[in-house]
């Protein structure tokens, strides 16, 4: 409401009234991360292959939920092991790696379900899977996996980024994989990632390590 009033006052030329409105304080919270055991339980929980595949794919490629339902079969390149995400947030395309393990699951899913055009067909007018349906799949999987953490679909993306950092992928690469416009957005994962602490040293010592 406050932001709406600010916009209105500026639009009608009453900037002084917009400035006098109270500032909004946003709570700073860290993303909820699923550990590896929880992820395995979550991916195993759905009865339908389609549901297992879509949840696993979101984590394996760090997808936003909209990106997952927008994926087309042609966006998956099994030979090059890539996923082409088209016109996502900020109207940008990006390429992310296709996990070899995920590729096996996708081939099995495609052979069994034979979707048309979109990778995950649903009841939307254009044939896509609905966001509401996807949210339901996540809710049921969390419940059946008996996970007590308050998680949603975006928690899979959070977990993807955090686990990449923990496995040694540099933050700039993680930024590009996530499709963030600014690296400061990605830096929040540094607060939840369990990273090895390297003792401060001079790079000269590692340059001539063999001579010591």
**Residue 89 annotated to the active site:** yes
**Residue 64 annotated to the active site:** yes
Q: Is 30 helix (H, G, I), strand (E, B) or coil?
A: coil
Which of 157, 158, 163, 175 is catalytic? The answer is: 157
pLDDT tier at 199, thresholds 50, 70, 90? confident
- The answer to whether residue 212 scores a pLDDT higher than 80 is no
pLDDT digits (tens, 9 = 90+) for 143-153: 999 999 999 99
**Torsion angle, CA of 104/168/45/61, rounded to 10 degrees?**
-50
**Residue 180 annotated to the active site:** yes
**Residue 44 annotated to the active site:** no
**Fold adopted by 36-191:** hpI Integrase; Chain A (1.10.443)
**Residue in this structure with the two tokens 């339980």, named with its chain if needed:** 41
- The mean pLDDT of 16-24, rounded to a whole number, is 69
Q: What pLDDT, on the 0 to 100 scale, is given for residue 9?
A: 77
**Residue 154 annotated to the active site:** yes
Q: How far apart are the first and last CA of the chain?
A: 65
Q: How far apart are the C-alpha atoms of 3 and 37, rounded to whole Å?
A: 42
pLDDT tier at 27, thresholds 50, 70, 90? low
- The mean pLDDT of 112-133, rounded to a whole number, is 94
**Residue 194 annotated to the active site:** no
pLDDT tier at 16, thresholds 50, 70, 90? confident
Written as six digits, the tokens of 89 are 């947030």
Structural domain boundaries of the chain? Answer: 36-191
């Amino acid at each position: 409401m406050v932001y709406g009033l600010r916009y209105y006052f500026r639009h009608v030329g009453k900037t002084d009234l917009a400035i006098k409105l109270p500032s909004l304080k946003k709570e700073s919270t860290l993303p909820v991360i699923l550990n590896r055991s929880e992820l395995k339980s979550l991916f195993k929980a759905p009865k339908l292959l389609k549901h297992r595949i879509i949840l696993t794919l979101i984590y394996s490629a760090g997808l936003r939920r909209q990106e997952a339902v927008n994926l087309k079969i042609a966006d998956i390149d099994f030979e090059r092991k890539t996923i082409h995400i088209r016109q996502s947030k900020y109207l940008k395309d990006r390429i992310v790696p296709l996990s070899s393990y995920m590729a096996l699951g996708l081939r099995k899913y495609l052979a069994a379900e034979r979707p048309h055009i979109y990778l995950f067909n649903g009841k939307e007018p254009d044939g896509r899977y609905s966001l509401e349906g996807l949210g339901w799949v996540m809710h049921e999987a969390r419940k059946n996996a008996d996970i007590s953490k308050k998680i949603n679909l975006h928690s899979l993306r959070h977990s993807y980024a955090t686990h990449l950092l923990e496995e040694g992928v540099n933050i700039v690469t993680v930024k590009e994989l996530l499709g963030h416009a600014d690296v400061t957005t990605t830096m929040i994962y540094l607060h939840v990632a369990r990273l090895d602490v390297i003792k401060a040293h001079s790079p000269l010592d590692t340059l001539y390590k063999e001579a010591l």
